[in-house]
Chains A and B, each alone.
Chain A
Amino acid sequence: MKRYFHNLGEKLIEGLITISGTVTSITVLLIVFFLFKEGLGIFSQSPVAEGSVIAVHQNNPVKELKAAEVKEIFDQNITNWKEVGGPNAPIKLFSIDDITDYYTEEQIGANFEHLPQRLNELVAQEPNMLAFFPEEYLAKDFKGHRIELANVSLGDFLLGRQWYPTIQPAVQLGVLSLILGTLWVSLGAILIALPLGLASAIYLAEIANPKVRNILKPVIELLAGIPSVVYGFFGLVVIVPLIQDVFGLPVGETALAGSIVLGIMALPTIISVSEDAMRTTPRAMKEASLALGANKWQTIYKVIIPYSISGISTAAILGIGRAIGETMAVLMVTGNASVIPHTFLEPVRTIPATIAAELGEAPQGGIHYQALFALGCILFLMTLAINLTVDFVSAKKKENR
């Protein structure tokens, strides 16, 4: 009887473990599915600002424009129809605020009740006009031609340099500057964290006396547990003003500030993982080196580092992974300007910071919302690539043994 219950208990636990494992796996897959479902929606939406109409005269041969072209036209960088495939005629811009130049208030009506009709007339009269107005004023028998904006293509999305997700009349969803901002800050972080982390790891693994090590290692690992907003606050209060003073900049919120904060945040991972790797170097191997007359430093860089190189690479990659995905601290110190960075002393905007800052304002299901999810997909693919690299490197490590 007792035995029976014992077996039953085992079966029960086994069942619970199986169920929780399955549920977790399914949840993870569902989250990834949700991310991509929302994110890929961007490629089937027109980038016209929500509830707006862009229209031309019905005889105008231009039927379709790209979002970037619309922005150029409204910025008056493109002023002639022939530049976008139309006749050689200057583009006459019209937006709803200009209506009073054409009609009196009486003609429009006190409650804009005649506005749709007036807009209809206006577009019909002016062959070279590009008009932009809210959809609610679109007349039922509109005689002009509604311009279709080409859907955002993958190339435009990834390589576009303009990120203006709320601009009128056509939103600009190029994420190149955000991708480069993320990589830029992460690169800076790793350049700072790797030498420092490696030096600390060597110190802890080979030089520090065991008592010091036993105190230092837990303290360094404790750094990993500090909330990132605290690092961000520290960066904002200490590092940002410091950079501003040292380099004489108008603002200290730069890629460098982000890199330093992220570097500090990546240090515990890098130190801890590479120190563990170095400590797996067999004692016999160190002794062999010393017995051949090598001194401590020669032993470290000729035997211990080569032996633990895959562990050190894993540490570096995990550090980069942490840096790429970090949101809060970066949001607080990098200035968040979506421009392509050329130096470390310019503000940059990273993907996670963009998502965190903008998702609250983006209407659900809109193109901006979907663009943010698409950014999330890009970030997911980046970290996935990093994790696969870690797997590859550590698999190689086992092979070498």
Chain B
Amino acid sequence: MNSVETKDVHLYYGDFHALKGITMAMKKNQVTAFIGPSGCGKSTYLRCFNRMNDLIDGVKIEGDILIDGVDIYKTNIQVDDLRKHVGMVFQKPNPFPKSIFENVAYGLRVNGTKDKAFIEERVERSLKQAALWDEVKDKLKKSAFELSGGQQQRLCIARALAIEPSVLLMDEPTSALDPLSTAKTEELIHQLKENYTIVIVTHNMQQAGRVSDYTAFFYLGELVEYAKTKTLFTNPKDQRTQNYITGRFG
């Protein structure tokens, strides 16, 4: 079953044609990785799924993007509701200047949840899912800035999980982390796919190979090749994919 599906998506930054007719579908409860050189449009494409590109002036999007069968660019879609459904983890850890607890509870609070017990239970569960609970359970009231970079990123994952999205977008989530934290995060992605559809953008091909079930290779705004990860890395059909994964450019 497809969780995210796009048909002939074009995106323009002013005059610049950043995405050129991308059609693909991402399966439910699978990890899909987007790889490609810098500026190939993979992050831009990812940010279409929760309409983060709306924040940038002069962006024009054409084509259909369906999440769980709903066209998210239809006029009757409430963008805040969409974003509760499609969570996102960013490149750099970006906790709020609040306590650890309040960071995780933020999504619930802005949704209007007032029930204290419910919030506490959900925060604990999210932190456990993000494999952070044991490290922070005694200092939930402390500022999130006191955590290490890797812990902050897992906090951001917990924060995204707290509102129970069905799709989790990850935009190079480990690029600012050390190898140990990266390994922890990757392990986490493995566990999370049971409950979530995960789309991850990465610069690191080994990472794509380790964590993903499917991989898409983007080049100059085009989707060059999309296949099972194993197939793409061992037997690429397109010459450009072959060149990229063997390290000839990028």
Chain A residues engaging chain B, CB cutoff 8 angstroms: 210, 282, 284-295, 298, 302-303, 306-307, 400
Contact = CB atoms under 8 A, between A and B. Distances in A.
A234 B159 CA distance: 53
A283 to B, nearest CB: 8
Given A291-B83, A292-B107, A295-B110, 7 more contacts: A288-B90, A288-B156, A293-B84, A293-B110, A302-B96, A307-B97, A400-B97
A329 to B, nearest CB: 38
A291 B97 contact: no
B110 A285 contact: no
Given A210-B57, A294-B106, A295-B80, A288 B163 contact: no
Given A290-B55, A291-B88, A292-B110, A306 B81 contact: no
Contact of A302 (B83, B91, B106, B156): B106
22 contacts: A282-B94, A284-B90, A284-B91, A287-B52, A290-B52, A291-B50, A291-B52, A292-B106, A292-B107, A293-B81, A293-B83, A293-B111, A294-B80, A294-B106, A295-B110, A302-B106, A302-B110, A303-B96, A306-B96, A307-B96, A307-B97, A400-B145
A391 to B, nearest CB: 21
Nearest to B95: A288
B52 A293 contact: no
B80 A293 contact: yes
Contacts of B92: 284
Contacts, number: 69
Contacts of A303: 96
A312 to B, nearest CB: 13
B83 A287 contact: no
Contacts of B81: 293
Nearest to B93: A284
A289 B98 CA distance: 12
Contact of A294 (B50, B55, B57, B110): B110
Contact of A292 (B55, B57, B91, B160): B160
A293 B81 CA distance: 6
Question: Quick one: which of B91, B109, B110 has the most chain A CB within 10 A?
Answer: B110
Interface in B73-106: 80-81, 83-84, 87-88, 90-92, 94-98, 106
Nearest to B159: A292
A298 B90 contact: no
Interface residues of B, number: 28
Give 8 nearest A-B pairs by CB, closest first: A293-B84, A292-B107, A284-B94, A294-B110, A291-B88, A293-B83, A298-B110, A288-B94
Given A298-B110, A302-B106, A289 B160 contact: no
Interface string B156-170: 100110010000000
Contact of A285 (B87, B88, B96, B160): B96
B161 to A, nearest CB: 11
B166 to A, nearest CB: 13
Contacts of A285: 94, 96
A291 B160 contact: yes
Contacts of A400: 97, 145
A298 B108 CA distance: 12
Nearest to A297: B110
Contacts of A307: 96-97
A282 B146 CA distance: 18
A268 B50 CA distance: 38
A144 B178 CA distance: 94
A210 to B, nearest CB: 7
A280 to B, nearest CB: 12
A293 B110 CA distance: 7
Nearest to B145: A400
A400 B159 CA distance: 21
B237 to A, nearest CB: 34
A298 B83 CA distance: 14
Interface string B108-139: 01110000000000000000000000000000
Contacts of A289: 96, 106, 110
A292 B52 contact: no
B160 A293 contact: no
B119 to A, nearest CB: 14
A306 B143 CA distance: 13
Contact of B87 (A282, A292, A306): A292
A293 B97 contact: no
B55 A287 contact: yes
A303 to B, nearest CB: 6
A287 B83 CA distance: 11
B96 A293 contact: no
Nearest to B88: A291
Contact of A287 (B90, B95, B97, B98): B90
Contact of A291 (B87, B109, B145): B87
B178 to A, nearest CB: 19
Nearest to B110: A294
Nearest to A307: B97
Question: Quick one: which of B92, B96, B109, B145 has the most chain A CB within 10 A?
Answer: B96
Contacts of B111: 293
